Amino acid sequence: MSKTVNLPHDDASCGWYAALPAAQPATRLQGEQRADYAVIGAGFAGLAAARRLAEHHPEARILLVDAQRVAQGASGRNSGFVIDLPHKFALEHPDPAHKQRLLALNRAAIAQLQGLIQAHGIDCQWSHAGKYQGAVGPRGMAYLEHFEKLMKDLGEPFDWVERGALAKVLGTGHYSGAIYTPGCYLMQPAALVSGLGRSLPDNVELLEESPIQRLERDGQGGWILHGSAGRIRTARLLLGTSIFTQEFGYLRNRLLPVMTFASWTRPLTDSELQVYGGQLDWGLTPADHAGTTVRMTQDRRLIIRNTYKHVPKYGKSTSDAMRESVRSDHRKAFLARFPQLANVPFSHTWGGVYAISRNFTNFFGELEPGVFASACDNGVGAAWGTISGTLLADLAVGADSAQLRDIQAVTGMPSLNPPEPFLGLGVRSRIRLAAWNSRSEL
């Protein structure tokens, strides 16, 4: 394979990453390197895969390589939810066993992350806060009633929270009601991913700011990974590259690159916190999936996330003007909820790219002999990336388990996309239609 890949091009305005202490200088790929295993992508999936490989083979040399710094990419840009429940679309799956497998896998990921946070003292605002799914008006309440039925079918606990009680938590009477589910954890994603990167086993070498620009077969059953200042020869290659998997020639025309955007405030002052009147450390996702996600962090920042864009050129599909427009929309959503905080500015607005598929199917498995991938998290990357990366390493070393069989049972092949320009027209039209239909919930 000689195709040159398109690289990440994320904006430099992610609030989560900006809030971290200054990072130590990066170790970059230089010269000729040999590894027993190479992992591309140091997000949740790649970090978990490298760690598990090291546990299986502590004598092996494992190289984990990323085009950016750890936490600069998608894994450090999400809204900080680690959700145990199957995603909205997966909740509608007709097979109860399918949903129970997803639930068990997500909970295994949460337990794994919690263990690592405790073992390595990772300061990332980790909290068993649960999650609210909120409705603004009749459209959202209809979605909540449907969600209630799905939760009953799943046999999972939940609580209805009426407007008055909800306002005491959120500091706003904007919502008609919500369903609270207790299994979600909240965190600072860039801090968590950065901490996972700093605490890798000794036989994992992390190479940052080292984009792999080309893959080549070595003629002996292995691979050569070409960077700008060096290359890696390896017998086994694991891809934790999400949407960028298609840049290496795999799952082409099966993944859709979508970017969602968030803005957050600076930390509220003591007087602003009194005016706000709600609690710290909560998260709310919209009952209508095209609505607005809202969070209040432990360090007093309010976050607004909505707006979806089809980004065929990833970060290069965006512009400063686009982000300013998104920021303006976020401001309207913020003021609708917190008019008492009209003088509190946003300090950062950022986007993050993730992969979805038309059939909402995650890929997990061996792409060809010696090449393994977990790709397409369909927007729920923290838990899924962690458990899929872990089990991908199991698959690569031939370690069988009930969990491995479970993830193989719930994954498959993302469906083919129509060709351009029909794909772009269709995706953009669907996003616009969803935003219009959901305008009362934004």
Q: Is the pLDDT of residue 383 over 50?
A: yes
User: What pLDDT is stored for residue 3 in this prediction?
Assistant: 56
Q: Is the pLDDT of residue 266 over 60?
A: yes
Cα pseudo-dihedral 396, 81, 264, 70, rounded to 10: -20
Name the band, by pLDDT with cuts 50, 70 and 90, for residue 435.
Answer: confident
Kindly report the number of other CB atoms within 10 A of residue 262's CB atom.
Answer: 26
Helix (H), strand (E) at residue 15: helix 15-18
Residue 295 DSSP SS3 = strand
Question: What is the residue extent of each domain of the chain?
Answer: 23-76+191-252+360-424, 108-187+256-358+426-441
User: What pLDDT is stored for residue 1 in this prediction?
Assistant: 46
Residue 164's identity, in one-letter code, is G
Side-chain half-sphere exposure of 313, counting CA atoms within 13 A: 4
User: What pLDDT is stored for residue 200 in this prediction?
Assistant: 98
Task: Record the tokens describing residue 42, joined without a space.
Answer: 């140091």
User: What pLDDT is stored for residue 412 in this prediction?
Assistant: 96
User: What pLDDT is stored for residue 5 in this prediction?
Assistant: 76
140 in Cβ contact with 441 (< 8 Å) = yes
User: What pLDDT is stored for residue 2 in this prediction?
Assistant: 44
Q: pTM score, two decimals? A: 0.96
pLDDT above 90: percentage of residues in the chain? 87
Name the band, by pLDDT with cuts 50, 70 and 90, for residue 41.
Answer: very high
| pLDDT tens digit sequence for 411-433 | 999 999 988 887 888 888 888 87
The mean per-residue pLDDT over the stretch 354-379 comes to: 91
User: What pLDDT is stored for residue 326 in this prediction?
Assistant: 96
SS3 breakdown of the chain: % helix, strand, coil, rounded to 5? 40, 25, 40
158-162, 280-284, 403-407, 437-441: the lowest-pLDDT one: 437-441
User: What pLDDT is stored for residue 430 in this prediction?
Assistant: 82
User: What pLDDT is stored for residue 309 in this prediction?
Assistant: 92
Task: Give the Cα separation of 377 and 312 in Å (integer).
Answer: 17
Strand intervals (E) in 103-255: 131-135, 159-162, 177-181, 185-186, 204-207, 214-217, 223-226, 230-239
User: What pLDDT is stored for residue 229 in this prediction?
Assistant: 96
Helix (H), strand (E) at residue 107: helix 96-120
* Helix intervals (H) in 249-297: 270-276
The yes/no answer on whether domain 108-187+256-358+426-441 falls in CATH 3.40.50.620 is: no
Task: Give the Cα separation of 222 and 369 in Å (integer).
Answer: 9
- Identify whether 421 is preceded by a cis peptide bond (ω within 30 of 0): yes
Strand intervals (E) in 61-203: 62-65, 81-82, 131-135, 159-162, 177-181, 185-186
CATH architecture of 23-76+191-252+360-424: 3-Layer(bba) Sandwich (3.50)
| pLDDT tens digit sequence for 102-135 | 999 999 999 999 999 999 999 999 999 999 999 9
* More reliable by pLDDT, 1 or 382: 382
Task: Give the Cα separation of 211 and 29 in Å (integer).
Answer: 9
Angle between helices 381-397 and 44-56 in degrees, nearest 10:
30
Q: Is the pLDDT of residue 378 over 80?
A: no
Burial label, 151 (beta-carbon count in 10 A; 0-12, 13-18, 19+): middle
Q: How many residues does the chain have?
A: 442
Name the band, by pLDDT with cuts 50, 70 and 90, for residue 98.
Answer: very high
Q: Is the pLDDT of residue 50 over 50?
A: yes
Helix (H), strand (E) at residue 441: none
| pLDDT tens digit sequence for 389-400 | 999 999 999 999
Cα pseudo-dihedral 144, 326, 264, 8, rounded to 10: 100
298 in Cβ contact with 80 (< 8 Å) = no
